[in-house]
Homo-oligomer: A and B are copies of this chain.
Amino acid sequence: MELNERKKRILYAVVANHIQTAEPVGSRTVARAYRIGLSSATIRNEMADLEEMGYLEQPHTSAGRIPSQKGYRYYVDNLMGDGQLTEEEELSISRSLGLEKMREIEQIIANAVKVLSSVTNQTSLIMGPQFQKSTFQQMRILPLDDRRGLVVLITDSGFIKNKVIELDQSLSPAELHQVVTYLNQKLYGLTIDQVTTSLINELKRDLFRRLEILEQAFILLEESLREERQARVFLGGTTHILTQPEFKSVQKVHQMLSLFEQEALLFEILEQDLAKDDIVVRIGTENKYEDIQECTLITAAYKIDRRILGSVGVIGPTRMDYQWVIAVLRRLVDQLNQTLSSNR
């Protein structure tokens, strides 16, 4: 499986050139442009070898070679170096993310995806922080008028959920306050996931004994928790994918865009590598979902104080400037982590 130095250089040349031009790369091109010091004939032989070994493929007999999925994988793992951003790119990332102050977390996230897509010129996606994984901090009920109240629920990672509810008429303010205090006490520090229906029922029974009126208060709690089992996914630069030559058929575009409309699917896609603590590159069929098996997905997790909150990524054709996109993503995540953490 190991390639000798010469094969490596040739493979590198083919991949690099193909990434740039989107065209099959011929032996002449490699010979001339990458000063390997060999004639095209020799390179032709090597390329034939590389094809046999599965790193390259030929669209048709008399065309040049293009990298296979395995070829890209080898390139990503062994050949490419670390990408370097231009000063301009650096700036546009830090400027647009660094200056955010005290904004809602969702806004920061939504902005991040815009920055990412506009810098990379690729479609980007980001998974919002998972409500379920954040921990309960406190809950309040604000009486609005005599019939209705506003429930406010706050979690540690900056989520604020609110919901207007009908208040049980027979519940006195003092009693209401008592219920709320009780709940805060019991729930503090639990993750939302841990606030299961059975826990709620238990609390309900417990309270019932002391206070006999609070159906509504519990319904609200359950409701606001049940909602959003799944985090939001933000998309940016959806149309960038249309500028790629590999998406010049309307049919493919359609397939791709339909996928983008299915938030639940995007969520699953982003969620799978959430635990990994580095950049994850999924090339072609390394993706589980058929619809993106002609694409590459590059993702990274973002964190707040070392705790992983969600995942952000770029999706595009397998022919992608891996080196550079990875550098951008890395930079963006750093900045994002910093911004989020300093906001607490």
A160 / chain B contacts, CB cutoff of 8 Å: 150, 162, 164
Q: Is A261 positioned at the interface, with any CB of B under 8 Å from its CB?
A: yes
Give Cα A163–Cα B154 distance, bound, in whole angstroms.
11
Of all chain B residues, the one with the shortest Cβ separation from A256 is B239
Contact of A138 among B138, B144, B249 (CB under 8 A): B144
Give Cα A184–Cα B195 distance, bound, in whole angstroms.
36
Per-residue interface assignment for chain A, residues 98 to 138, with 1 indicating a CB less than 8 Å from any chain B CB and 0 otherwise: 00001010000000000000000000000000000000001
Q: Is A61 positioned at the interface, with any CB of B under 8 Å from its CB?
A: no
Number of copies: 2
Give Cα A102–Cα B164 distance, bound, in whole angstroms.
8
A247 / chain B contacts, CB cutoff of 8 Å: 250
Contact between chains at A242 and B250 (CB < 8 Å): yes
Give Cα A54–Cα B79 distance, bound, in whole angstroms.
64
Contact between chains at B250 and A238 (CB < 8 Å): no
Interface contacts beyond A150-B154, A152-B152, A242-B253: sample of 6 additional A-B pairs, CB < 8 Å, sorted by A:
A142-B142, A142-B152, A144-B154, A150-B160, A239-B261, A257-B257
Can you give 15 A-B contacts (C-beta < 8 A)?
Answer: A138-B144, A140-B142, A150-B154, A150-B160, A158-B164, A237-B261, A238-B257, A238-B261, A239-B258, A239-B261, A242-B253, A242-B257, A243-B254, A247-B250, A250-B250
